[in-house]
Amino acid sequence: MGGTQNGKAVANGRVKHGKITEKDTIPLEECPKPAFYVFWLVQLNITMMLLGAMVATLFDKWGIVKTKRAKGDPRMEDFAPLGNSFDATYTDHIYRQSTDVVNRPISGVPGAIVRLKDRYSDDHGWTQKYSGSETEVINLGSYNYLGFSHRSGVCADAAAAQIDKYGINCGGSRQESGNHISHKSVDRTIAEYLRVEDAVVFPMGFATNSMNIPALVDKGSLILSDRLNHASLVTGCRLSGAHTLVFRHNNAKDCERKLRDALSGVSPKTEQKYNKVLIIIEGIYSMEGTIVDLPSFIAIKKKYNCYLFLDEAHSIGAVGPSGRGVAEYWGCDPKDIDIMMGTLTKSFASAGGYMGGAKKTIDHIRRYSAGTCYGVTMSPPLIAQVEKAVQIMCGQDGTDIGRQKAIQLLENSRYFRKELRKRGFLVYGNNDSPVVPLMTFYITKVVEFSRRMLKHNIGIVAVGYPATPLLEARVRFCLSADHTKEHLDYILEALEQVGAETNTFYGKKITDE
């Protein structure tokens, strides 16, 4: 589907002769669905769990049955609760039972292999204690897409050299004493990598969205936001005060329909025509593994003279022949995207985020963003890690390592997804996406799935409510260029065994793709 990219060839869904293959653009709503009765059973399962949790809460409150649990200070009994009763009941009696599979502490570098600190609980999950031992696992949870997370090598050496030269911190904001010479260098490096006029970096990815969207729009503006956009984007939209409309996931037609209807009226906040329109999308959606239909959104932007904001937190470095993200993946002109946001935490194994675009736009952000006005700047060693990784991806280090990393990641993504479907698992997302959600639907199953995979020395991420809808729990795999075929085959063998034990084969077996 979608044709080839810049004439690059495809053969049996693989990479041929070092070229990136054609794209798969299946919308989420067209992904295979489980049997009709699955959602009924999942609904029954969660209903019974919630009823049991509410009964336990009442028994505990009335003193009929006392559970070993955290207790609040008696002096605070008359204080207003921090959350609603549902959240408290869910957290105390459902989430608590899964505390062994969430927030797992790691020890060491999060590469293809990582060490987990072993824990145990003697109070039914209220607290987790360290046992003093560690377990080495294959890492499918970290965002180490390009495999730059290493304790040694050119990137680590460059970061260490910056510590010796400049220390750890710059001690100020970009508009004060923290505007270090290395910041100008990394701004230029990222702009050249993105093929845009200018860029500016920030020390935190979440804040790159939440603190900068308010600098772009205000209460007289209109935002069109994908319904599955990240919490950082949602926070930024709320802080901006702009009127926000949510459209169906990755659905440009629904976006255009809502935009057209909104433009026919006035802003409900100012009762005047909107002063600007901003469409916000992501490159790869981190819980669905879907790749944005970028050409369609660019067409809407041009047709209605809107601004387009692209969050490439999970797509920069992860797709495209040289890892330049979804614009390169689709063969689109980066200049057609007004704001190209991304994080430096994932593919480049550093920390922070960036905004890229036209110089006039980036200068505006430098002047009016809360991140540049009030936030402390990015650390020099983190900048060195980013610059060296980008140089490798561009081939400026004189090697072919960057291109090979991009090819290896794509091969791993397509192979792993194909093999999961062959085994009967229900997998969301696009074939070229290294974010691979395997649907379990039941919260109880995803927790047990994670526990059993750990017994095979495989570390995975179990995801449930509120990160996903209540009835759509899932396992999320994040693939890396550092994963070998031997790693993936071992993982697939373990998945097949655990899938049979937990009865999580909700897809239709596909023998050939």
SS3 letters across 291-344: ECCHHHHHHHHHHHCCEEEEECCCCCCCCCCCCCCHHHHHCCCHHHCCEEEEEC
Query: Is residue 177 one of the residues assigned to a domain?
Result: yes
CATH code of residue 44: 3.90.1150.10
The answer to whether the CB of 92 falls within 8 A of the CB of 49 is no
- Looking at the structure, do residues 454 and 337 belong to the same domain, yes or no? no
- Looking at the structure, do residues 327 and 181 belong to the same domain, yes or no? yes
The helix (run of H) or strand (run of E) holding residue 90 is helix 85-93
Give the model's pLDDT for residue 68.
Answer: 64
Query: Is residue 314 one of the residues assigned to a domain?
Result: yes
- Looking at the structure, do residues 67 and 182 belong to the same domain, yes or no? no
Give the model's pLDDT for residue 4.
Answer: 32
- Looking at the structure, do residues 52 and 185 belong to the same domain, yes or no? no
**Structural domain ending residue among the three candidates 394, 429, 464:** 394
- Looking at the structure, do residues 225 and 299 belong to the same domain, yes or no? yes
Query: Is residue 425 one of the residues assigned to a domain?
Result: yes
Closest Cα partner for 340 from 296, 307, 388?
307
Both tokens of 318, joined, read 């992860």
Share of the chain above pLDDT 70, in %: 92
- Looking at the structure, do residues 383 and 474 belong to the same domain, yes or no? no
- Dihedral (CA of 7, 12, 17, 18) sign: positive
- Looking at the structure, do residues 374 and 439 belong to the same domain, yes or no? no
The answer to whether the CB of 187 falls within 8 A of the CB of 377 is no
- Looking at the structure, do residues 342 and 419 belong to the same domain, yes or no? no
Number of compact structural domains in the chain:
2
Give the model's pLDDT for residue 20.
Answer: 46
For the chain (length 513 residues), average pLDDT per consecutive 10? 33 40 53 84 94 88 71 75 82 89 93 96 89 97 96 93 90 83 95 98 96 97 98 98 97 97 94 97 96 97 98 97 96 97 96 97 96 91 96 94 96 97 95 97 96 98 91 97 98 98 91 62
Query: Is residue 81 one of the residues assigned to a domain?
Result: yes
CATH code of residue 368: 3.40.640.10
Give the model's pLDDT for residue 19.
Answer: 46
Scanning 24-71, the segments in alpha helix (DSSP H) are: 36-62
Both tokens of 246, joined, read 């949510």
Query: Is residue 147 one of the residues assigned to a domain?
Result: no
- Looking at the structure, do residues 386 and 427 belong to the same domain, yes or no? no
Both tokens of 21, joined, read 């293959």
- Looking at the structure, do residues 386 and 404 belong to the same domain, yes or no? no
Query: Is residue 512 one of the residues assigned to a domain?
Result: yes
- Looking at the structure, do residues 415 and 283 belong to the same domain, yes or no? no
Q: Is the pTM of this model over 0.85?
A: yes
Query: Is residue 3 one of the residues assigned to a domain?
Result: no
The helix (run of H) or strand (run of E) holding residue 117 is strand 113-120
Give the model's pLDDT for residue 82.
Answer: 77
For the purposes of burial, counting CB atoms within 10 Å of the CB of 150, is it exposed (0-12), middle (13-18) or buried (19 or more)? middle
Calculate Rg over the CA atoms of the chain. 24
- Looking at the structure, do residues 43 and 188 belong to the same domain, yes or no? no
Question: Domain residues for 380?
Answer: 154-394
Query: Is residue 4 one of the residues assigned to a domain?
Result: no
Residue reference for tokens 């004060």: 176
**Structural domain ending residue among the three candidates 361, 394, 427:** 394
d(CA 147, CA 405): 8
Closest Cα partner for 183 from 158, 203, 163?
203
The answer to whether the CB of 138 falls within 8 A of the CB of 491 is yes
The answer to whether the CB of 47 falls within 8 A of the CB of 58 is no
**Structural domain ending residue among the three candidates 375, 394, 413:** 394
Give the model's pLDDT for residue 148.
Answer: 96
The answer to whether the CB of 258 falls within 8 A of the CB of 306 is no
Both tokens of 380, joined, read 């020099």
